[in-house]
Structure 1
Amino acid sequence: MQTRKKYIFLTFLASWLLLFFFGGDQLRRFAFFSGRKAEARRNWPHWTDRSLLKSFAVPEELQSDGDPSLPSPRERRAARLSVYKNSRCRMETCFDFSRCEKNGFKVFTYPRERDQPLSESYSKILSSIERSRYYTPNPEEACLFILSIDTLDRDHLSGQYVRNVDEKIRGFPLWNGGRNHLIFNLYSGTWPNYTEDLGFDIGQAILAKASFYTENFRPGFDISIPLFSKDHPQRGGERGWLSQDSIPPKKKYLLVFKGKRYLTGIGSGTRNALHHIHNGKDIVSLTTCKHGKDWEKHKDTRCDKDNVDYEK
């Protein structure tokens, strides 16, 4: 037994000596670089710790919804981010303040094209701007630019969806990659996914949008706006309640919401949770369950009463 161990040891030693003499350069180079890497790793800043780095894909991104015809969560996220190529835009990096220095805050709206469809809601937005004291018909004086292309509804299935927006805006001499432009959007994507794919690259433009994804919202640059219906009045009614030194302002209502209460899917959890703050006095939440063709399959015990209150 001792003799066998001795032969095994001598064989291993001979193999190692042969490898060292005939492949010594490679071994020494490997030892040298291994030492350098170990030294560098000790000197790396703490923020390169692997435990602090995000993995290439989270488990949710690798799972599908069970329906091969629908995009996976990873594909949906890629679609959302593809529109926001300038995701690091801030006012100091993507806005030219020099345009505002000479003439102050002046807004120019692009001329309407005869064959370009325009929704009632977007027409109200443009008209409101053009009637304001900030409007200028001269683009040379403008600090901010508003497209005449209706971008409010970016649902591919909508009859108000404007096609080939990318091609059109690239042909505008004032576009300048979107710098100093403001784009309005209320709806994006198509049910049931509602991705934030607007169908064109907004470039360095500011986005005023309803229902932002937090990961796409650029703080201090983009503007989160409420979703409003087409019959929303262009002008206000009675004067507001805000008076001098009235902070907080005197209001009859603190919060009001009227809309669909999605029973399943995106938004359902949020709207169900918000129901519990309704008190019928200064906080009013009116929702209807009537959404989609099969809403009755998912109706809950609150639906009948909610639908009646909504219709009042």
Structure 2
Amino acid sequence: METCFDLERCRRTGFKVYVYPDSGEKSSENFRSILASLRSSNYYTSDPENACLFVPSYDTLDRDHLSSDYIHNLGAKISRLKYWNNGRNHIIFNLYSGTWPDYLEDLGFNLDEAILAKASFSDNYYRHGFDISFPLFGKTHPSTHGSGGFLKANYYPPRRKYLLSFKGKRYTYGIGSSTRNALYHIHNADDIIILTTCKHGKHWQSFSDQKCQTDNEEYDKWDYQSLLHNSTYCMVPRGRRLGSFRFLESLQAACVPVVLANGWKLPFAEVIDWSKASLAWEERLLLQVPGILRDIGDDQIMFYRQQSQFLWDKYFSSVDLIIRTTLEIPIRVVDDHPKVMSR
């Protein structure tokens, strides 16, 4: 922080955030929501000279070359921003980058000294005390006043119909992790329901294996929302990226997330103790999952579930809350450096 961030600027002006004027480029609904939340926050300033933190108005959320939201030549455009200064005191938001197999944090341009607030962050590339582990949320995530957690009463015992469930894609060719291909080993069609489909991408049939037909048929018989709300634990395995939409979906539904994604820096891990609301599992020990989950007592399950609702309501139910938490993380860092040499 001392070498890549001008802390003294924040001392002079207070923690104020400046958003650059509209770039004129296309932008996604999620990014527009983020900018709107920033501009409506108490930290916003319209005067860049009084700003501590700067946010480019170019949409950096989706850096997948095949996406319709991808902006070309983004590096050149951002580097020409008036206050860029090699990225110092800037923050870049990103939801989609870092795909299988290496999960490299390649946004297609040089971040320089900018803070990266990124979903699906790999611990190998996360700069501790500087970057921010951002949550992955969908296109329909509410901008403000999102729905609360779905747990309306603390029923006891807290166990639901299914012990553990998962419904999602698996990868028969090299675009995603092999972890999901192994999940069928713990499926028992009784209290552990693991459903995968090969049907994704335009050419999935060309890569089908001998399990695809039966997997696809079984997959279509089950409703995802029903599984989500009737399972004690929900599996959250890595796929094309380390993070998954299922993490926040499970959290809201009070279905305790069982994370199967080695090296994933969980959302807002800087301020949240996730051991109180989820279980992180070593992928190589998949076969041990059912036995361990069966041994967890009702009181602990209830604790996990209550924590999940608290965290959802406090940090994740709307884009406004996500942005407020994002800004509070660098504020803490600034406050932890009381003595700064003037530049």
| Band of TM-score, shorter chain | 0.5 to 0.7
**CA 1:257–1:179: 2 relative to 1, 3 Å:** farther
Match of 1:269, as an amino acid? Answer: S
Match of 1:306, as an amino acid? Answer: Y
Residue matched to 1:175: 84
Q: How far is 1:284 from its partner?
A: 9.9
Contact 2:187/2:194 (8 A) holds in 1: yes
Residue matched to 1:158: 67
Distance 2:7 2:125 in 1: 24
**CA 1:147–1:200: 2 relative to 1, 3 Å:** same
Moved more, 199-208 or 229-238: 229-238
Distance 2:197 2:34 in 1: 28
Alignment of 1:2-81 (within 5 A): none
Alignment of 1:1-312 (within 5 A): 91-113=1-23, 115-188=24-97, 196-239=105-148, 260-271=169-180, 288-296=197-205, 297-298=208-209, 299-300=211-212, 301-310=214-223
Question: Which whole-Å deviations, capped at 9, do the CAs of 1:113-165 have from their partners, x for residues lacking one?
Answer: 2x311111111111111112121111122111111011111122222211122
Distance 1:152 1:177 in 2: 20
Give the secondary structure class of the aligned counterpart of 2:218. Answer: helix
Question: Which whole-Å deviations, capped at 9, do the CAs of 1:137-194 have from their partners, x for residues lacking one?
Answer: 1112211111101111112222221112222122212101001111011223789987
Q: How far is 1:302 from its partner?
A: 4.2
Structure 1: gaps of 5 or more residues? 1-90, 242-249
Contact 1:156/1:190 (8 A) holds in 2: no
**CA 1:276–1:208: 2 relative to 1, 3 Å:** farther
Question: Which whole-Å deviations, capped at 9, do the CAs of 1:210-235 have from their partners, x for residues lacking one?
Answer: 22343322122112223222122112
Moved more, 204-213 or 288-297: 288-297
Structure 2: gaps of 5 or more residues? 151-157, 226-343
Match of 1:94, as an amino acid? Answer: C
Contact 1:155/1:189 (8 A) holds in 2: no
Larger radius of gyration: 1
Contact 2:167/2:224 (8 A) holds in 1: no
Moved more, 288-297 or 91-100: 288-297
Distance 1:174 1:206 in 2: 15
Question: Which whole-Å deviations, capped at 9, do the CAs of 1:24-48 have from their partners, x for residues lacking one?
Answer: xxxxxxxxxxxxxxxxxxxxxxxxx
**CA 1:267–1:219: 2 relative to 1, 3 Å:** farther
Question: Which whole-Å deviations, capped at 9, do the CAs of 1:89-118 have from their partners, x for residues lacking one?
Answer: xx23211111222343221111102x3111
**CA 1:226–1:303: 2 relative to 1, 3 Å:** farther
Contact 2:103/2:122 (8 A) holds in 1: no
Q: How far is 1:278 from its partner?
A: 9.8
Match of 1:131, as an amino acid? Answer: S
Distance 2:185 2:15 in 1: 42
The size of the alignment, in residue pairs, is 212
**CA 1:92–1:305: 2 relative to 1, 3 Å:** farther
Contact 2:17/2:43 (8 A) holds in 1: yes
Aligned-residue Cα RMSD (Å) equals 4.0
Distance 2:117 2:131 in 1: 6
Distance 2:33 2:167 in 1: 21
Compare relative contact order (CA 8 Å, sep 6+) and give the higher one, 1 or 2.
2
TM-score (norm 2): 0.51
Match of 2:113, as an amino acid? Answer: Q
Contact 2:104/2:125 (8 A) holds in 1: no
Distance 1:119 1:147 in 2: 14
Contact 1:182/1:207 (8 A) holds in 2: yes
Match of 1:104, as an amino acid? Answer: G
Match of 2:130, as an amino acid? Answer: F
Distance 2:104 2:124 in 1: 12
Give the secondary structure class of the aligned counterpart of 2:33. Answer: helix
Give the secondary structure class of the aligned counterpart of 1:102. Answer: helix
TM-score (norm 1): 0.55
